[in-house]
């Protein structure tokens, strides 16, 4: 079965992009995986190992909660959705998940330009790195609308 990967931070701001991933999975009759990645490495030099572990555990609990909400929303629309929780650098976690789950399509949600980390400039860089790693379909959405689509290295963004 083919699979779509939708990394998410969860919460209401992510719903429109999650909905687009759910819609695409339903249209294609594909499975869907929601991914949440947390990274506490920046705390390693600032805090005690016990505190870092406690913070990581709290982030894991929150991530699992947010992923479960996304999964339930998909299943209400008759889409099989799995959840994956990873730690560390986002790109490394993305590569690992793409490989382990043999992902066919990656769905990325973009934030407004100059607002947040996942702006269009970041997305363009990320897409380039992903395509160096594996030629897959990549769809970038903003507020649930497709703003960029790359199919195995060829930009096929709708006009």
What domains are there in the chain, each with its CATH number?
3-155 (3.40.50.620)
pTM, to two decimals:
0.88
Q: Report the alpha-carbon distance of residue 115 to residue 143 in Å, rounded.
A: 14
pLDDT at 46 over 80: no
* Secondary element (H or E) of residue 120: helix 120-133
By C-alpha distance, which of 109, 136, 92, 128 is closest to 34?
109
Average pLDDT value for residue range 142-153: 88
pLDDT attached to residue 44: 67
Cβ(3)–Cβ(104) below 8 Å: yes
| Block residue for tokens 């990656």 | 106
Cβ(75)–Cβ(81) below 8 Å: yes
pLDDT attached to residue 37: 95
């Amino acid at each position: 079965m083919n699979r779509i990967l939708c990394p998410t931070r969860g919460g209401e701001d992510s719903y429109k992009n999650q909905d687009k991933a759910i819609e695409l999975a339903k249209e294609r009759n594909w499975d869907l995986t929601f991914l949440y990645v947390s990274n506490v490495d920046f705390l390693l030099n600032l805090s005690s190992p016990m505190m870092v572990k406690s913070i990581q555990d709290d982030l894991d609990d929150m991530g699992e909660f947010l992923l479960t909400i996304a999964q339930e929303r998909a299943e209400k629309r008759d889409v099989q959705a799995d959840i994956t929780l990873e730690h560390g650098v986002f790109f490394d976690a993305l590569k690992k998940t793409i490989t382990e789950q043999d992902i066919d399509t990656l769905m990325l949600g973009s934030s407004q330009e100059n607002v947040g980390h996942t702006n269009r400039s970041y997305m363009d860089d990320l897409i380039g790195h992903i395509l160096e790693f594996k030629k897959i379909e990549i769809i970038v959405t903003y507020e649930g609308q497709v703003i960029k689509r790359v199919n195995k290295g060829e930009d096929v963004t709708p006009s």
